[in-house]
């Protein structure tokens, strides 16, 4: 079950993640910008005691795939695997300092990127801009900002 307040927060961060992800950026920034939905979802995940986390990750991933016009299931699969990692370190994540949290976010973003690229290469071939490897770094760097802003939104 997802209780009402957690559900409302999930809806808020989903809409926000979609809006932030849709803002136009210069080409390079666009490629290296973090996986916004993952960052926002991590925030929800660490404060959530729901047992429907994987279902939520699946639905949000599918919505993102449709919104971005990508391969259906690509973001869903990546978000599920990254969420599984964050869940496995959830207790540690919750009590860690910001730097350790950034390391966890980096690893989750890296896992997301690997799954994302594998599915992309399997379906569309080796058509990749290699700047995309910087995405986990930008995700980790921007995590404190995202956490601060979402905490404000939550309260």
Q: What sign does the CA torsion over 71, 112, 138, 126 have? A: negative
Q: Residues 106-145 vs other proteins: string with x where CB under 8 A?
A: -------------xx-xxxx-xxx-xx--x----------
**Total residues contacting other proteins (rule CB under 8 A)?**
46
Q: Given the structure tokens 């770094």, which residue do they identify?
A: 137
* CA 129/CA 132 separation, integer angstroms: 6
- What the block records as the tokens of 84 is 């599984």
**Residue among 6, 7, 12, 33 that touches other proteins (CB under 8 A):** 33
Q: Which of 147, 56, 134, 49 is nearest to 100 (CA)?
A: 147
| Positions in the binding site for other proteins (CB under 8 A) | 15, 18-19, 22-25, 27-28, 30-31, 33, 51, 54-55, 57-58, 61-63, 66-74, 76-77, 80-81, 84, 119-120, 122-125, 127-129, 131-132, 135
């Amino acid at each position: 079950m997802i209780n009402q307040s957690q559900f409302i927060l999930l809806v808020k961060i989903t809409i926000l993640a979609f809006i932030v992800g849709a803002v136009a950026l210069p080409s390079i920034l666009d490629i290296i910008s973090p996986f916004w939905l993952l960052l926002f979802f991590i925030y929800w995940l660490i404060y959530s005691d729901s047992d429907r986390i994987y279902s939520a990750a699946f639905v949000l991933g599918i919505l993102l795939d449709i919104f971005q016009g990508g391969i259906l299931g690509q973001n869903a699969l990546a978000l599920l695997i990254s969420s599984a990692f964050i869940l496995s370190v959830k207790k540690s994540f919750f009590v860690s300092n910001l730097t350790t949290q950034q390391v966890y976010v980096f690893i989750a973003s890296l896992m997301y990127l690997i799954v994302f690229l594998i599915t992309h290469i399997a379906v569309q071939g080796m058509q990749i801009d290699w700047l995309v490897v910087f995405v986990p770094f930008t995700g980790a760097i921007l995590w404190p900002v995202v956490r601060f802003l979402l905490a404000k939104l939550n309260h």
